[in-house]
Amino acid sequence: MEIQKAAIPSIKALQVFEQVAHFGNVARAAEELNITPSAASHQLAKLEKLVGNSLFNRSAKGVSLTLAGETYLREISQLLLNLAQATAQIRDEKENNALRIHCAPSFGLLWLLPRLKQLHEACPELNVTLSCSYENLSFSRDNIDVAIRHGFPDWSPFDIKTIRDEFITAMASPDYLRRHPAPTPAALAEHRLILSETPLIQWPQWFAATICRSRSALGVQLRSLLHEPAAARLGHGVVLESELLAQDYLRDGSLVRLFPSALSLPVSAHHLVYPRGFGQLARVKRFLHWMQQALDSDKAC
């Protein structure tokens, strides 16, 4: 078959097909691709007409692949990956020093931002653009090379590398401990606890894991992970915080661990996420290598 005469679908139609197959939902796939649901449905209809077969079973609960759809997905996924890698490689030759990082604010502002000088000294050739938000941006739409995401790692279309196991522990400022002598774990519920809507481990979980029974927690309610360590350093109460993110504060003495490490809870909270194949790009590879060295250096301190 001559390629010029072959019926070849558009890249957009294939992207829509792959994303709908992943999410099982046309609207969610459309959001990821920054198009309207009707445009996504139109692309699917054109693709199914072109291949002469139904690729999805449709129901009120969403869509699922037919046998033909499963076969087609296996074939075109590698093609799309090869295309993305080839495009990135050519772009990399032109912009191989431009590294675009998106971070969860907690990691970006508490860990990465204080170390950007170290990154520049280790990799002076990189031109780093750093953005921070809890929104999971689209790598293609928002032109992101590497994301550092907070939460449970369920981002299956991408390569995921957990930064390292973190430990969540109770911390307070020396000023707070001067006014409120260091409590026992059982008595901690009577103290002023700093609460948040977003952490992976809440105070009731910590109490249940450390003193074998759940306690309700009363204290200062905050709506951002960034406010918690700041409030604790100002002496407003006791905070549950990642030792990884708070290590600079622990090192300078503005925060103090209340209990031994046996009462710290392990959690995989932050993850490096990037499109498949991007780990081979020179700029991404240099950043990942520096990240590992910086984390190892922190661990040794």
In this prediction, residue 301 has a pLDDT band, given cuts at 50, 70 and 90, of low
Q: What is the pLDDT of residue 261?
A: 83
Pairing of strands 98-103, 127-132: parallel
| Confidence label for 265 from pLDDT (cuts 50, 70 and 90) | confident
Name the most confidently modeled range: 77-81, 171-175, 274-278.
171-175
pLDDT at 220: 52
What confidence tier does 229 reach under pLDDT thresholds 50, 70, 90? Answer: confident
B/e letters for 141-164, b = 16+ CB within 10 Å, e = fewer, are eeebbbbbbbeebeeeebeeeebe
- Taking 70 as the threshold, does the pLDDT of residue 197 lie above it? no
Angle between helices 11-23 and 67-95 (to 10 degrees): 120
Among 159-163, 244-248, 263-267, the range scoring the smallest mean pLDDT is 263-267
Closest alpha carbon to 64 in 12, 26, 9: 26
Whole-number pLDDT of residue 77: 86
* Structural tokens at position 114: 């204080």
Structure tokens that stand for 11 in this block: 């890249």
C-alpha to C-alpha distance for 102 and 159, rounded to whole angstroms: 15
pLDDT for the residue 198: 57
Q: What are φ and ψ of residue 37, in 5° steps? A: -60, -35
Higher pLDDT, 161 or 153: 161
Q: Is the pLDDT of residue 207 over 90?
A: no
C-alpha distance across the termini of the chain, in Å = 63
Q: Is the pLDDT of residue 19 over 80?
A: yes
Domains parsed from the chain with CATH numbers:
3-91 (1.10.10.10), 96-164+269-300 (3.40.190.10), 166-266 (3.40.190.290)
Residue 118 confidence (pLDDT) above 80: yes
Per-residue pLDDT at 3 = 45
pLDDT tens by residue, 28-47:
999 989 899 999 999 999 99
Amino acid at 278: F
Which has the higher per-residue pLDDT, 273 or 95? Answer: 273
Q: What are the residues whose beta carbons fall under 8 Å from the beta carbon of 230, sequence distance 6 or more?
A: none
Number of CB atoms found within 10 A of residue 122's CB: 15
The helix/strand count (H/E) of the chain reads as 11, 13
How confident is residue 296, by pLDDT bands cut at 50, 70 and 90?
confident
How far is Cα 80 from Cα 103, in angstroms, rounded to an integer?
26
- Sequence letter at residue 265: L
Q: What digits encode the pLDDT tens for the residues 247-258?
A: 999 999 999 999
- Mean pLDDT lowest for which of 168-177, 214-223, 257-266, 269-278? 214-223
> Residue 233: which pLDDT band, with cuts at 50, 70 and 90?
very high
Q: How many residues does the chain have?
A: 301
Average pLDDT in the chain: 85
H helices within the chain, ranges in order? Answer: 11-23, 26-33, 37-51, 67-95, 105-107, 116-122, 174-179, 203-210, 227-233, 247-252, 282-300
Sign of CA dihedral 69, 74, 78, 25: positive
pTM above 0.85, yes or no: no
More confidently predicted of 65 and 141:
65
Separation of alpha carbons 279 and 125, rounded Å: 18
pLDDT in tens, 38-77: 999 999 999 999 999 999 999 888 899 999 999 999 989 8
